Amino acid sequence: MSDADEGRAPVTGVGTEGRGNGVAGVGGVAGPAPGEHGVASVETHPEADRPNGDGSARNALLVVHTGREATRRVASEAARRLAEAGFALRILPDEYSTDEGLFDDLPPAQRPRTVSPDSDAALGMEIVLVLGGDGTLLRAAELARHARVPMLGVNLGRVGFLAEADIDDLDEVLDAVVARTYRVEERMTVDVVAHQNGTELGRTWALNEVIVEKMNWARLLDVVLEVDARPVSEFACDGVLVATPTGSTAYAFSAGGPVVWPEVQAMLLVPSNAHALFARPLVVSPESSVALEVSNRGDAGVLVCDGRRTIELPPGSRVEVVRGRAPVLLARLRVQPFTDRLVRKFGLPVQGWRGRRP
């Protein structure tokens, strides 16, 4: 289920450049070609060895899940430490408007200043520090992706697959930000365009998944699935997901899709409650083009990306999905096997394992 702080955004038609994670959300590193967007590689942050020798301020954007006392304390400690290290801190106006007590315990000079809440909010930032759950990280991704700035998440939610650290690791996180000792992973995204009879309905993108789902919950949605300009199948269903490796442990996992290791370059096609004999999850190349057509004989549907950006789909609409042009950058403090993260986050039983420990 999505992190409680992030609800589905109103229908906007066209998404900005940036569904909360279902059961979780971690996954693949991908891009147009190996070496360009990386293939599950971990790279040193480009500014890691370049201190600000001119005395200029370093900039960071804080994205906070407000309204919790624990979050308020963590946010104040992070702001204090970074301000003392010479950071100029910024925050979105909504954070203050939804939590009037946020940063009240800090002197005015250490309180983050608000920045315009548009897609350029993270431009000029060195890092986006996210305090919350996976839903908060997906909200921050809308800003960080557009600015090509890495995000570093501290999990204050439940599972928190996308977050790099838990609240107990806050000191380590802040030390790494100040010293620039974190690494950066590139995460595959998908670009999406919807149109009907030659008229564009909107275009957006997703880090976790694209969902074409029914609007009328009393009826099924008739969908035709296409891969690489060839028809695959038509069926009635609750919806169809196109997920990235990052989203393979999110909504796609809940719908019966496979868990995809980060090193695998792929897109997942996962029907949700399809009324058909052939409705198994499919794994296709990241270079494939995927299309989902809403039958003109049935009801309307809706396109949902990461649970945040939505486009209404009248009967006869067509949604096309390809690998995204721009990845999302995630800061990592340490290199760890994806297997360990999976076992820890899901609490998988491994007591009987007799293999060799590192």
Which single residue is written with the structure tokens 């096309």? 320
Q: Does 219 carry a binding-site annotation?
A: yes
Q: Does 250 carry a binding-site annotation?
A: yes
Q: Does 197 carry a binding-site annotation?
A: no
Q: Does 80 carry a binding-site annotation?
A: no
Q: Does 31 carry a binding-site annotation?
A: no
- Could you give the angle at the alpha carbon of 267 between the alpha carbons of 264 and 268, nearest 5°? 105
User: What one-character DSSP code corresponds to residue 8?
Assistant: P
Paired with 205 in beta bridges are 191
Residues serving a catalytic function are 134
Structure tokens at 112: 């983050």
Q: Does 109 carry a binding-site annotation?
A: no
Q: Does 249 carry a binding-site annotation?
A: yes
Q: Are 119 and 92 in contact (CB under 8 A)?
A: no
Give the amino acid at 306. Answer: D
Q: Does 209 carry a binding-site annotation?
A: yes
Q: Does 139 carry a binding-site annotation?
A: yes
Paired with 285 in beta bridges are none
Query: Residues 208, 214, 215, 218: is their CA dihedral positive or negative?
Result: negative
Q: Does 135 carry a binding-site annotation?
A: yes
Give the contacts of 186 (CB within 8 A, at least 6 positions apart): 29, 30, 31, 37, 38, 41, 43, 327, 328, 329
Distance (Å, whole) CA 254 – CA 274 = 14
Distance (Å, whole) CA 114 – CA 62 = 10
Q: Does 208 carry a binding-site annotation?
A: yes
Among 140, 59, 130, 66, smallest CA distance to 104 is for: 66
Residues flagged as binding site: 134-135, 139, 208-209, 219, 238, 249-254
Residues flagged as binding site for NAD(+): 134-135, 139, 208-209, 219, 238, 249-254
